[in-house]
C-alpha cells in the first residue's frame, strides 16, 4: 500500500467489470485503494461491484460495494448519501460508465441516441449534481470524468455519431464544472482513453467473430487490427486509465483543472 490518497474517500462509478478481466473502473478502484483511499465501488451490477470490493479487501484495503443505476436521480442521491453515512465525506468522484451505439444520424434509432446520452452524459450530470455540494461544503474535491478520444477524433469508416457527440458533451461538462468550482477548491478533469484492451473490447470482438467460420481467427484479427492502430503496436489497458485517474485524483495534480488528458499511446498524433 502507498499513500497518495491516504484516508481519502473515493466514489468510483462503474467499478465493476463488464466481463472477466480488468476494465477501466475496476482498475481505478483497486489503484485508488492501493494508494490508501476508502473506495465506494458503484455499479449497476452489484455482483460486479462486490467482486471489485472483495479484491480490495483481500489486499488489505477498504471498500464497499453499492448497486445503482446512475441514470436515475433518486438512485444517485441514495448512492451519495450512503457514502456519506459510512465515511462522512467524499474527496474523489470518478465517473467511468459509458456505452456506444453504431450508426450515423440517419441510421441510428432515436431510442439508441437517447440511451447513449442518458448513460454517457446524464449519469455524469447526476453524480455531479449530488456530489458537488458535499465537496463544496468540505472546501475541496477532485472529479475525474472518463471521456474518449472519440470526442476529438472520428475514425475513418466507422459511424458512432451518438458516442462521438456524447463524449464531446462530457468534455464540455468537465470544463464548465472546472471553471465554476475552481475557487471552491474543487478540480474537475477528464481522461480521454484511446484503444484499450478491456473486457468490453473482448465482448465486442466476440460479437464480431461469432458468425465467422473461423471464430478464433476472426477474434484474433480484430484484436490485431486494434493493436496495429496504435503507434506503440498494442492497445492500452485499464491500468493505463487508472494511473491517469490516480494522478488527477491526487495532490500531484493540484494545479491541473479543466484538462482533457489523452491516454492513447499517440493515436491522435496520426492523420
Decide if pLDDT at 271 tops 90. Answer: no
Q: Which residue has the higher pLDDT, 170 or 18?
A: 170
CB of 155 closer than 8 Å to CB of 102: no
Active site residue 255: no
DSSP H or E segment with residue 67? strand 62-67
**Of 163, 208, 219, 255, which residue is the catalytic one?**
163
Predicted confidence (pLDDT) per residue in 141-163, tens digit: 999 999 999 999 987 767 889 99
Q: Please enumerate, as own/partner, the contacts of 164-168 that have beta carbons within 8 Å and a separation of 24 or more.
A: 165/117, 166/116, 166/117, 166/120, 166/121, 167/98, 167/120, 167/192
Check if the beta carbon of residue 42 is closer than 8 Å to that of residue 49.
yes
pLDDT at 140: 98
pLDDT for the residue numbered 188: 98
How confident is the model over 204-219, as a mean pLDDT? 67
Average pLDDT over residues 192-214: 75
To the nearest whole number, what is the mean pLDDT of the chain? 93
**CATH class in words for 9-196+236-265:** alpha beta
Lowest mean pLDDT among 62-66, 187-191, 204-208: 204-208
Q: What is the pLDDT of residue 118?
A: 98
Domain residue ranges of the chain, discontinuous segments joined by +? 9-196+236-265, 197-235
Element (H or E) spanning 189, and its range? strand 186-193
Amino acid at each position: 500500500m502507498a499513500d497518495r490518497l491516504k484516508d481519502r474517500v473515493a466514489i468510483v462509478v462503474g467499478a465493476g467489470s463488464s466481463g472477466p478481466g480488468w476494465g477501466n473502473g475496476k482498475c481505478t478502484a483497486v489503484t485508488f485503494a492501493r494508494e490508501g483511499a476508502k473506495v465506494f465501488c458503484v455499479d449497476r451490477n452489484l455482483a460486479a461491484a462486490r467482486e471489485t470490493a472483495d479484491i480490495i479487501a483481500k489486499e488489505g484495503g477498504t471498500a464497499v460495494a453499492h448497486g445503482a443505476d446512475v441514470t436515475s436521480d433518486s438512485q444517485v442521491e441514495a448512492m451519495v448519501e450512503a457514502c456519506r453515512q459510512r465515511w462522512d465525506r467524499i474527496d474523489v468522484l470518478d465517473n467511468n460508465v459509458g456505452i456506444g451505439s453504431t450508426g450515423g444520424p440517419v441510421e441510428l434509432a432515436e431510442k439508441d441516441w437517447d440511451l447513449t446520452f442518458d448513460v454517457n452524459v446524464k449519469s455524469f450530470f447526476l453524480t455531479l449534481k449530488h456530489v458537488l455540494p458535499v465537496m463544496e461544503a468540505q472546501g475541496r474535491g477532485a472529479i475525474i470524468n472518463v471521456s474518449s478520444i472519440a470526442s476529438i477524433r472520428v475514425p475513418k469508416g466507422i459511424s458512432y455519431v451518438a458516442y462521438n457527440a456524447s463524449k464531446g458533451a462530457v468534455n464540455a461538462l468537465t470544463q464548465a464544472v472546472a471553471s465554476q468550482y475552481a475557487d471552491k477548491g474543487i478540480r474537475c478533469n477528464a481522461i480521454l482513453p484511446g484503444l484499450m484492451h478491456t473486457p468490453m473490447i473482448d465482448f465486442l470482438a466476440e460479437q464480431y467473430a461469432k458468425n465467422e467460420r473461423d471464430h478464433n481467427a476472426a477474434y484474433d484479427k480484430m484484436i490485431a487490427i486494434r493493436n496495429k492502430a496504435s503507434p506503440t503496436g498494442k492497445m492500452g489497458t485499464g491500468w493505463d486509465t487508472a494511473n491517469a485517474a490516480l494522478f488527477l485524483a491526487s495532490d500531484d495534480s493540484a494545479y491541473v483543472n479543466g484538462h482533457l488528458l489523452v491516454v492513447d499511446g499517440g493515436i491522435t498524433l496520426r492523420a
